[in-house]
């Protein structure tokens, strides 16, 4: 799934077999529980939605949410361009949509859809919000940290709301058979 080479990446513990250790380390990292989100981005007059699980709140004050995005993703280009993004929290019943946002989306401006899914522009930043998301945060980039193959965008939450009942069960990585990271 991730477009990374199969070469094991060090450092390796002394005496460890790099290949075996790499597999073990990946399985350990996959065990980290995580949520599963859709990131909305907009820049250079384009909008995109992307499936992501490297998402977490990172600070109380300012109110920052970190999302780590691969440098070759369209989302990376759009967030870098306009410095805005949304994080959409997904209904557990909607797990199938996760597969619809693993490639750049088709925008239908007239219908206000992205890959056929209704969106609207967030009231504060204008980045796209998925209409069927349970909740969202709308963010402005506070800092972009180069972390190698990805950039960790730290976004300040400038707006947040629920779009469905607060009690709605939300999607987590463990609800799917997918992995990312490791
Ligand atoms: C379950 C899952 C989780 C993912 N999490 C991330 C992530 O946190 N960061 C990332 O850059 N790509 C992640 N991806 C990969 C992107 O969804 C995928 O590379 C996408 O094509 C890049 O988006 P874009 O080119 O449409 O912007 C994940 C993919 C899957 C299937």
What distance in angstroms lies between residue 8's CA and the mean position of ligand 1's atoms? 21
Is any atom of ligand 1 closer than 6 Å to the C-beta of 151? no
Tell me, what DSSP letter sits at residue 8?
A: P
* pLDDT attached to residue 6: 72
* Per-residue tokens: 18: 């790099």
The number of the ligand 1 atom at minimal distance from the alpha carbon of 72 is 25
Is any atom of ligand 1 closer than 6 Å to the C-beta of 99? no
Whether the Cβ atoms of residue 86 and residue 139 lie closer than 8 Å to each other? yes
What distance in angstroms lies between residue 75's CA and the mean position of ligand 1's atoms? 9
Q: How far is CA 31 from the centre of its chain?
A: 18
Q: Does a cis peptide bond (omega within 30 degrees of 0) precede residue 57?
A: no
Is any atom of ligand 1 closer than 6 Å to the C-beta of 74? yes
What distance in angstroms lies between residue 66's CA and the mean position of ligand 1's atoms? 15
Is any atom of ligand 1 closer than 6 Å to the C-beta of 48? yes
Closest CA to 41 of 81, 98, 89: 81
* pLDDT attached to residue 106: 97
By the 10 Å C-beta count (0-12 exposed, 13-18 middle, 19+ buried), 138 is classed as buried
- Taking the C-alpha atoms of residue 42 and residue 119, their distance in angstroms, rounded to an integer, is 12
What distance in angstroms lies between residue 31's CA and the mean position of ligand 1's atoms? 18
By the 10 Å C-beta count (0-12 exposed, 13-18 middle, 19+ buried), 45 is classed as exposed
* Per-residue tokens: 49: 């939605």
User: Domain 35-175 carries which CATH code?
Assistant: 2.30.110.10
Closest CA to 119 of 39, 59, 3, 45: 39
pLDDT of the chain, 182 residues: tens digit per residue: 444 667 999 999 999 999 999 999 999 999 999 999 999 999 999 999 999 999 999 999 999 999 999 999 999 999 999 999 999 999 999 999 999 999 999 999 999 999 999 999 999 999 999 999 999 999 999 999 999 999 999 999 999 999 999 999 999 999 999 999 99
């Amino acid at each position: 799934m991730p477009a990374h080479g199969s070469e094991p990446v060090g450092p390796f513990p002394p005496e460890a077999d790099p290949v075996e250790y790499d597999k073990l380390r990946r399985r350990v990292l996959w065990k980290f529980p995580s949520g599963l989100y859709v990131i909305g981005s907009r820049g250079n007059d384009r909008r995109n939605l992307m499936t992501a699980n490297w998402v977490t709140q990172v600070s109380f004050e300012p109110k920052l949410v970190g999302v780590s995005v691969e440098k070759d993703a369209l989302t990376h280009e759009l967030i870098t361009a306009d410095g805005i993004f949304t994080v959409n929290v997904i209904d557990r019943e909607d797990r199938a949509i996760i597969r619809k946002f693993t490639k750049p989306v088709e925008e239908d401006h007239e219908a206000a859809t992205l890959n056929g899914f209704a969106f609207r522009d967030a009231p504060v930043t204008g980045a796209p919000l998925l209409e069927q998301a349970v909740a969202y945060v709308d963010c402005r980039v506070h800092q972009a940290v180069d972390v190698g193959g990805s950039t960790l965008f730290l976004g300040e939450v400038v707006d947040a709301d629920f779009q469905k009942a607060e009690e709605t069960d939300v999607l987590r990585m463990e609800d799917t058979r997918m992995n990312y990271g490791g």
